[in-house]
Amino acid sequence: MIIHSIALLLSVAVMLISVPSSHARQSSIVELAGKGTGLVAVVSKKGAEDYTEYAEGLLKERLQKLNFKVLNKEQADKAKKDRLLMEAIKNQSASAMAKISSEYGAAFLVRATLQSVASHEKMGSWEGGSSFSLLVIDTKTGEEVINVVSEPMGTPDNPAPMEDSSLAAKQMAISKAVDSVLTKVGADSETLSQLSSITANYHSAFSTDGRLVKAQIFSPDSTQLLSALEDRLEVYSLESKEKVKSIESPKGDIISLAFSRNGTTLVAGTKKGYLIVWSWPDLKVKHVLDAHSKGTQSVDITPDGRLAVSAGGDGKVKFWDVASGRQTAKIDAHDERILRVSFDAGARNIVTVSEDLSIRFWDINTRKETRSFKESMDRIESAILNKDKTILACATRTIEIDLLRKRRMDKRYIRLRDQVSGRDIFTFEGHLKDINDIDFFPGRRFVVTGSSDKTVKVWDIEKRGEVASLDCSNKVTSVAISNDGKYLAAASSEIQIWKFK
């Protein structure tokens, strides 16, 4: 989570974890888990701002997997919106420490700084470098209980990473710097190396009664799965492993779903071109809106649930006031069908991905295109932004004709693009048939794909490879990852759910 518009070009990302009440010595980060509450802020020095989100994602992932308990989202959002508090945190003022202690009940401020990020070309490859620091302050006494900086790179014991691109080299350097800091404060290096492993255990299955699932989404609290079985919306409990609700779509088959981040509103797009707005969790219909002439292919909604966006087979993007159901704006965005529309992290821009093979960015106030990319492939099958809206993944297909052997060869790829820099991160290949859907685990590490080859695959972006392949009973039409990263749902001739460690 990134705090915008902070002085001196510092980007701030906030989350809450469990830490203890006091330590007089240089403490271990492992000792701090589960013994109190702490407010964590990640800041970046000038020149490293573009990589704050990436560093924050890595740190958050590692802390959570080191058994830190993240407090509820409402507390994190409240802290994030307190600009004066964020400014005081940057300056480590006594008033900030007092407020963190009294208002948030946090015994510690945990502040990390991304101090530098760099890369340079070397013998046809790119060498990366980065520096990261971690500071922990007792909010009651003002005492520093942890203050460490990552080991410098470029030594025989800590060589700088070499990668195929400048971006990949920088990202790997940041990863090494974060791990260096955590190792210095008590995280076992072997434990950190195991954080890239991911284990899937089969959890449950639900019958679709022969209906095709084109869209799925987990509830904001990750306790329920919502699946669109053509013209019905089914709700399943992950705890009881039972269907708890079933409602009929007022306008035919549902093909897209999105929740507001505050968990109060669910929007859906239908094959007939309508946008449906439900309240959550009672699933009462608030609006049924005639949106697009050729199907409402994709929908999204701002975190506060006030503004929805829809995109259709007609190439148009439309904006809707959720409270009134009134259309507020329209963009003639593409000449061909739009596969995905998403608000960016700050909900000030939208990203559209189309069958015309272009990815375009639009300012929602001016409705003007701000930048675009043209993908080098023959077809885009699906696309999605990760949960913090910093990486775009596209499922693509290229066609090669072997004239000598008189045969056609289709190749399927997952292409990853960094939304901050606009550069390609990596391309995965492994499915034998079309990739029908994509989703991300929380953070920037793992992406999951579902294919007509009857498999679901999990890919490790950092290690650049496949880390899990799950067999399904039929071709996979939809995949979804829960917000806490614990559950994966894949729809084929049935809905299958796996639980991850």
- pLDDT category of residue 155 using cuts at 50, 70 and 90: confident
Cα separation, 443 vs 194, whole angstroms:
17
Q: Which homologous superfamily does the CATH classification assign to the domain defined by 199-209+378-501?
A: YVTN repeat-like/Quinoprotein amine dehydrogenase (2.130.10.10)
Name residue 238's beta-bridge partners: none
Element (H or E) spanning 245, and its range? strand 242-248
Least confident of 74-78, 322-326, 355-359: 74-78
Give 38-96 pLDDT, tens digit per residue: 777 788 998 898 888 788 878 877 877 777 766 666 776 787 778 788 777 777 777 88
Do 58 and 174 touch, CB atoms closer than 8 A?
Answer: yes
pLDDT tens-digit map of 222-250: 999 999 999 999 999 999 999 999 999 99
User: How many other CB atoms sit within 10 Å of the CB of residue 349?
Assistant: 18
Q: How confident is the model at residue 16 (pLDDT cuts 50, 70, 90)?
A: very low
Q: Report the percent of the chain where pLDDT is more than 90.
A: 44
Whether 5 shows a pLDDT value over 70: the answer reads no
- The residue-averaged pLDDT of 179-204 equals 78
Strand 200-207 to 478-481 pairing: unpaired
Written as six digits, the tokens of 239 are 């705890």
Query: Would you state the pLDDT for residue 338?
Result: 95
Sign of the torsion angle spanned by Cα atoms 247, 251, 253, 254: negative
Mean per-residue pLDDT over the chain, rounded: 85
Containing 55, the helix (H) or strand (E) segment is helix 52-65
Sign of the CA dihedral running 302, 303, 306, 310 = positive
Characterize the bridge pairing of strands 307-312 and 316-321: antiparallel
Structure-model confidence comparison of residues 95 and 1, the more confident one: 95
| Dihedral over alpha carbons 461, 462, 467, 468 (to 10 degrees) | -40
The answer to whether 321 and 328 are in contact (CB under 8 A) is yes
- Confidence bin at 299 (pLDDT 50/70/90): very high
Select the more confidently predicted residue: 71 or 489: 489
The pLDDT of residue 300 is 96
Bigger pLDDT: 483 vs 325: 325
6-10, 71-75, 252-256: least confident range: 6-10
**Residue 463 confidence (pLDDT) above 60:** yes
CA separation, residue 125 to residues 173, 247, 426 (Å): 14, 55, 15
**CATH code for residues 249-374:** 2.130.10.10
pTM across the whole model: 0.66
DSSP β-ladder status, 38-44 and 108-122: parallel
What number is the average pLDDT over the span 460-484?
89
More confident residue, 312 or 42: 312
Confidence grade of residue 251 (pLDDT, cut at 50, 70, 90): very high
User: Which residues of the chain are in CATH 2.130.10.10 domains?
Assistant: 199-209+378-501, 249-374
Residue 422 has pLDDT above 80, yes or no: no
Q: How confident is the model at residue 10 (pLDDT cuts 50, 70, 90)?
A: very low
pLDDT tens column, 396-409: 888 777 666 666 67
Per-residue pLDDT band for 143 (boundaries 50, 70, 90) equals confident
pLDDT of residue 352: 94
Sign of the alpha-carbon torsion through 375, 381, 386, 389 = positive
Q: So what's the pLDDT on residue 198?
A: 72
CA gap 91, 496 in Å, rounded: 49
pLDDT at 23 over 50: no
Query: Do residues 318 and 339 touch, judged by C-beta distance below 8 A?
Result: no
Whether pLDDT at 191 is above 80: no
Supply 144's token pair.
């520093």
Handedness of CA 192, 157, 111, 145 (dihedral sign): positive
When pLDDT is averaged across residues 286-301 and rounded to a whole number, the result is 95
User: Which pLDDT score is estimated for 3?
Assistant: 39
